[in-house]
Amino acid sequence: MIDDNVRASRQTADQRPELQISFEFFPPKTDVMEEKFWDTVHKLAPLKPRFVSVTYGAGGTTRERTLRMVSSIKADTGVDAAAHLTCVGASRDEVDGVVRGYRAAGISRIVALRGDPPEGVGKPFTPHPDGYQNAADLVAGIRRIGDFDISVAAYPEKHPQSPDWATEMDNLKRKIDAGASRAITQMFFSNGDYLRYLDRARAAGITAPIVPGIQPIHSFKQISSFAARSGASIPGWLAERFEGLDDEPETHALVASAVAAEQVTELLDEGVTEFHFFTLNRSPLALALARILGLRPGV
Ligand code: FAD
C-alpha cells in the first residue's frame, strides 16, 4: 500500500521537489489557427515553463513560421523558446544558415532532430547528399556554430529503426556526447517503458536528463494515428478506456484528464521532476496537468 504521506503528488507546494515543465507547440498554418496558438501560449506562459518549443515541419516546410513563432514568443511573453530543426532534404550549408538565422534572432535553444522522409518513419531515411547524416551529426554542426542549449529525442519504446537496445543507447549517447544537454522522449503511455529506458540509459553511462514527453489525449482517434506514425504503442487498457467515446466529447475529455493525471502523478511519485507536454496548441489539459503537479499561474 502506498503511504499518502510519501506520495509526491499529494504533497503541498512547499514540500514538493522543484518541478520544471516545458510545452511544445506546432507553427500555425492559418490566421484562425494562429489566434488559437497565441491564446494557448498566453494561457500557459504564466506557469513559467523553463521553455516552450515550436516544431519544424517535415522537410523544412515550416522554416519561416517556426522562426517567426519562436522569436515572437520570447518577445511577447518573455518565456524562453526553443526552435526544432531537422536535417531532412537540406544540405549542411542550408541547415547551418537556419541555425545562424536562429542565432541572429536571439534564439538560444534548439531541439535537434534527424526528421523523417516524407513517407514517414517506416521508410528508410536517406540523408541529403551534402547533408547532416543524423541527429548526432546535426548536434555537432550546431555546436560548431554557437553555444546553443540543445535538446534531442529519446524513445522509451526504442526508435523504430534501432534494431536493438544497444544501438538505441549508443545513438542517444552519441547525441549527448556531441553536445546536447537533455533528451525529450517520444510520447509513451506505459510508464514502465520510460522507467526501464532511464535504467538502460544510466547503465550505458548517460547522465543527462531524459525528460518524459507527455501527450494528453485530446482525441483518442488523432493520438492513436500520431502514435502509429511515430512508432509509439497504444496499450490495450488505454484503447478500452476510450472505446465508444468518439461521439461522447464530455466523457472523452474526463477520461483523457484522468489518464494523463494518472500518468504524471505516477511519474512524480517515481521521482520525476521534469515534464515536457505536447500541447497540440491546446491549453485545457496542459493547464489541468500543471495544476495536478502543483503549479499555478504566477506562483
Ligand atoms: P536520430 O537520433 O538520428 O536516430 C534515428 C534512427 O537512426 C535511430 O534508430 C538511430 O538508432 C539510427 N541511427 C542514428 N545514427 C546512426 C548511425 N550512425 N548508424 C546506425 N544507425 C543510426 N520531427 C520533425 O520532423 N519535426 C519536429 O519538430 C520533431 N520534433 C520532435 C520532438 C520530439 C520530442 C521527438 C521525440 C521527436 C520529434 N520529431 C520531429 C520526430 C523525429 O524527427 C523522428 O522520430 C525521427 O524518426 C528520428 O529523429 P531523431 O532525431 O531521433 O534521429
Backbone angles phi, psi at 10, to 5 degrees: -105, 5
CATH number at residue 65: 3.20.20.220
As for how many domains the chain has, the answer is 1
pLDDT of 124: 85
Average pLDDT value for the chain:
93
In a domain, 9, yes or no: no
Whole-model pTM: value is 0.96
143 CA to centre of ligand 1 in angstroms: 18
- For ligand 1, which residues put their CB under 6 angstroms from it? 55-56, 58, 84, 86, 111, 113-116, 121, 134-135, 153, 159, 161-162, 167-168, 171, 175, 184, 186, 213
In a domain, 116, yes or no: yes
Residue nearest to atom 29 of ligand 1 (CA): 55
Q: Which ligand 1 atom is at minimum distance from the Cα of 167?
A: 11
In a domain, 114, yes or no: yes
Show the domain range for 30. 20-292
Confidence of residue 6 (pLDDT cuts 50, 70, 90): low
Whether pLDDT at 145 is above 50: yes
pLDDT of 272-293, one tens digit each?
A: 999 999 999 999 999 999 999 9
Region 115-127: what's the mean pLDDT? 84
In a domain, 14, yes or no: no
Instruction: Determine what percent of the chain is predicted with pLDDT higher than 90.
Output: 86
